[in-house]
């Protein structure tokens, strides 16, 4: 769920959906279940629904009012999150996993990296850099 930025006057909300393949996406949007949901939602929303296809990092950084920032800004913001997180995990998780075979060590660090980035680091980074990203 994409919500308006705190303090903004926007009333636009969004739902981010991910699909493994284009055919799965098309099947979802053509399903009776989606059409029924879309019809019910039309009674509690303003205006017509707008559908946008986002790729890669655009989904992370999209602002309801301003869309996605330039890719170079998304890359810098991602580096701001990834670099310190990788340093932290290199000093904490990597030594704990050092007795494991290399593929399992890497999996342990990567799993922690993804979890931290998705639920903690990137929400903080995008919130802290919001003005710069969308200015």
Mean pLDDT computed over 44-66: 71
- What is the DSSP track for 13-79? -B-----SSHHHHHHHHHSHHHHHHHHHHHTSSSS--------TTHHHH-BTTTB---HHHHHHHHH
Rounded mean pLDDT of the chain? Answer: 85
pLDDT value, residue 68: 75
Mean pLDDT computed over 106-126: 91
For the chain, give the percent of residues with pLDDT over 70.
87
């Amino acid at each position: 769920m994409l919500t308006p930025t705190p303090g903004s006057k926007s009333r636009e909300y969004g739902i981010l959906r991910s699909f493994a393949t284009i055919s799965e996406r098309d099947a979802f949007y053509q399903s009776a279940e989606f059409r029924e949901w879309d019809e019910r939602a039309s009674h509690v929303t303003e205006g017509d629904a707008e559908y946008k296809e986002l790729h890669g990092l655009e989904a992370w950084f999209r602002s309801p009012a301003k869309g996605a920032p330039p890719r170079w800004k998304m890359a810098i913001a991602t580096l701001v999150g990834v670099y310190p997180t990788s340093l932290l995990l290199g000093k904490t998780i990597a030594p704990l996993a050092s007795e494991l075979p290399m593929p399992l060590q890497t999996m342990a660090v990567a799993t922690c990296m993804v979890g931290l980035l998705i639920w903690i680091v990137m929400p903080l980074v995008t919130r802290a850099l919001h003005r710069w990203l969308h200015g």
